[in-house]
Amino acid sequence: MSEVIVVTSGKGGVGKTTVTANIGCGLAMLGYKVVLVDADTGLRNLDVVLGMENRIVFDLTDVIEEKCRLRQALIKDRRFEELFLLPTAQTKDKSAVTPKDMQNICSQLREHFDYVIVDSPAGIEQGFQSAVAGVEKAIVVTVPEVAAVRDADRVVGLLEAKAEIRDPKLIINRLRMQMVQRGDMMTLEDMHDILGLELLGVIPDDEQVVIATNRGDPIVINENSLSGRAFKDIVRRMLGEPVPLMNLENGEGFFNRLRRIIGLG
Amino acid sequence: MAVQHALNGLNDSPTVLVEGILRSGQSVSFEGNVVILGDVNPGAQVTAGGNVVVMGVLRGTVHAGAAGNEQAVIVAFRLRPTQLRIANYIARSPDGEVFNPNQPEIARVRDGIVVIEAFPPSGERQGKK
């Protein structure tokens, strides 16, 4: 039974592509057959984050224009046998992919994969409409900022209205526990109060993610990083395991804890 | 002369000159030769029926001899491409550490593979003088 999931956010720069890459790798690490679909035509990034940019010959728009078969456009990951990328075009714009095209592609892909994960573009226009057209589930990514949460809320409404996707799952990215503890950042409760979505996971703000992403190696591969473990937990929750939320306060460090104890924090 | 030798047989083709940096998402397509007076950035694409010369850093994707001409060549001041295609041959940049010589290079098809060499071939003479 395959699942077709879109990763979306409304606001740009909150980590949709990073989340897509890490969830995809995480599922593939557990042996699932996964295809990641980049729906951000004209501003594609998923190929770069996965370190696959130099392997692209055909893309989603070539499949749509029948210049190649779907199979020819799929790129196999060099690390995981069961992970594939369907890239999109960089030299075209969103009008090259219609919602109907995406429905068609997704229904073909689900025949061959356990998970089809679509990386949506930012925004709520044509690109978003196409990205959500062929999916049945959604993951909404946000960061603990008022603007991002507002946009996430808007997107949740649109998912329901336009694509009949109910109860998307929420991922909160780049949480800084120290700021939350100081009262300078929205807390998980604050965001839950507004969005009311089931929380799939929380990713701590972690410079290792930036380093790994720039290298083209998703952080989930790294056993030692806190954020990598957070992504692993997310994957397990997607599979239905009841994994408790990680205690992010452990990453606080001795000196900060000391500062807090003696009242400087 | 090395230049005439490398571009042998394609000198008469019409040539288009493109001035400026070709940025991500931009593309140039022409049936003859293409000369870029600037860099070609990652995500940009150049497609030519003939040769492609980049008078700058080539970081994007270039397809020379796109109509099937295996004699077509790609020359760049600095050759750091995402992908090179000549006729029906495709070469991609290696993963991980890459040897990047600081001199112009030429890519062409030899015995069924895309080969990259210093350009002009007598590159070491420049260094000694």
Count CA within 13 A, CB hemisphere, residue A241.
Answer: 11
Q: Say if residues B120 and B3 touch (Cβ distance below 8 Å).
A: yes
pTM of this prediction? 0.89
B12: pLDDT confidence band, cut at 50, 70 and 90?
confident
Is B25 close to A57, i.e. CB distance below 8 A? no
How far away is chain A from the Cα of B121, in angstroms, using its nearest Cα? Answer: 27
Mean pLDDT of the region B46-62: 97
Residue B8's pLDDT is 58
Mean pLDDT over A121-129 rounds to: 97
CB A131 within 8 A of CB A8: yes
pLDDT above 70 (res B28)? yes
Residues B62-67, mean pLDDT to the nearest whole number: 97
Q: From the list B24, B45, B92, which residue is nearest A54 (CB)?
A: B92
Mean pLDDT of A12-19: 97
Coil, helix or strand for A63?
A: helix
Averaged pLDDT of chain A? 94
Mean pLDDT check: name the lowest of A27-41, A97-111, A161-175, A243-257: A243-257
C-alpha to C-alpha distance for B74 and B46, rounded to whole angstroms: 11
Q: Longest Cα pair distance anywhere in chain B, in angstroms?
A: 41
Instruction: Determine contact: A90 vs chain B, CB below 8 A.
Output: yes
User: Is 90 exceeded by the pLDDT of residue B112?
Assistant: yes
Produce one character per residue of B94-123: b if its CB has 16 or more CB atoms within 10 Å, e if not. eeeeeeeeeebbbbbbeeeebebeebbeee
CA distance to partner chain B, nearest, from residue A93 (Å): 9
Contacts with B25 from chain A: Cβ below 8 Å: 42-43, 90-91
B10 pLDDT tier (thresholds 50, 70, 90)? low
Nearest CA in chain B to A53: B82
Q: For residue A48, give every residue at least 6 positions away whose Cβ sits within 8 Å of its Cβ, in sequence order, or none.
A: A216
Query: How many degrees, rounded to 5, is the angle at CA A195 between CA A190 and CA A199?
Result: 85
Q: Do A90 and B45 touch (CB under 8 A)?
A: yes
CB proximity A87 to B under 8 Å: no
Contact check, Cβ <8 Å, A91/B45: yes
Mean pLDDT for the stretch of residues A20-48 = 98
Residue A53's φ and ψ, nearest 5 degrees, are -55, -40
Is any Cβ of chain A less than 8 angstroms from the Cβ of B93? yes
A79 touches chain B (CB under 8 A): no
Helix%, strand%, coil% for chain A, nearest 5: 45, 15, 40
For residue A258, pLDDT beyond 90: no
The answer to whether residue B46 scores a pLDDT higher than 50 is yes
Note the pLDDT of residue A264: 58
Closest chain A C-alpha to B125 CA, distance in angstroms: 33
Q: Residue B45: its chain A contacts at CB < 8 A?
A: 90-91
pLDDT of B38 over the 60 cut: yes
* Interface contact B25-A91, CB threshold 8 A: yes
Chain B positions in Cβ-Cβ contact with residue A57 (cut-off 8 Å): 83, 90
State pLDDT tens for residues A203-242: 999 999 999 999 999 999 998 999 999 999 999 999 999 9
Q: How many residues in chain A?
A: 265
Characterize the bridge pairing of strands B61-64 and B83-86.
parallel
Give the per-residue pLDDT at A228.
96
ipTM of the complex: 0.82
Q: Which of A87, A71, A214, A47 shows the shortest CA–CA distance to B82?
A: A47
CB contact under 8 A, A54 and B26: no
The residue-averaged pLDDT of B91-107 equals: 89
> What is residue A179's predicted lDDT score, i.e. its pLDDT?
94
Given a cut of 60, whether residue A2 has pLDDT beyond it is yes
pLDDT, tens only, A75-110: 999 999 999 999 999 999 999 999 999 999 999 999
The full set of domains in chain B, from first to last, is 3-125 (2.160.20.70)
Specify the DSSP element, H or E, that contains A147.
Answer: helix A146-163
Chain A contacts in chain B segment 50-79 (CB below 8 A): none
Q: Which two tokens stand for residue B126?
A: 């420049």
Structure tokens at A5: 């999931």
Chain A closest CA to B5's CA: distance in Å?
A: 30
Residue B129's pLDDT is 39
Q: How confident is the model at residue B6 (pLDDT cuts 50, 70, 90)?
A: low
Q: Is A104 exposed, middle or buried (0-12, 13-18, 19+ CB in 10 A)?
A: middle
Q: Do the chains contact at A78 and B95, CB–CB below 8 Å?
A: yes
Establish, for the pair of chains A and B, how many residue pairs have beta carbons separated by less than 8 Å.
Answer: 26
Judged by average pLDDT, the poorest of A145-154, A212-221, A238-247, B119-128 is: B119-128
Contacts of B82 in chain A (CB under 8 A): 53-54
SS3 call for B85: strand
Q: Of A90, A92, A214, which to mutate for an interface test with B (greatest number of B Cβ within 10 Å)?
A: A90
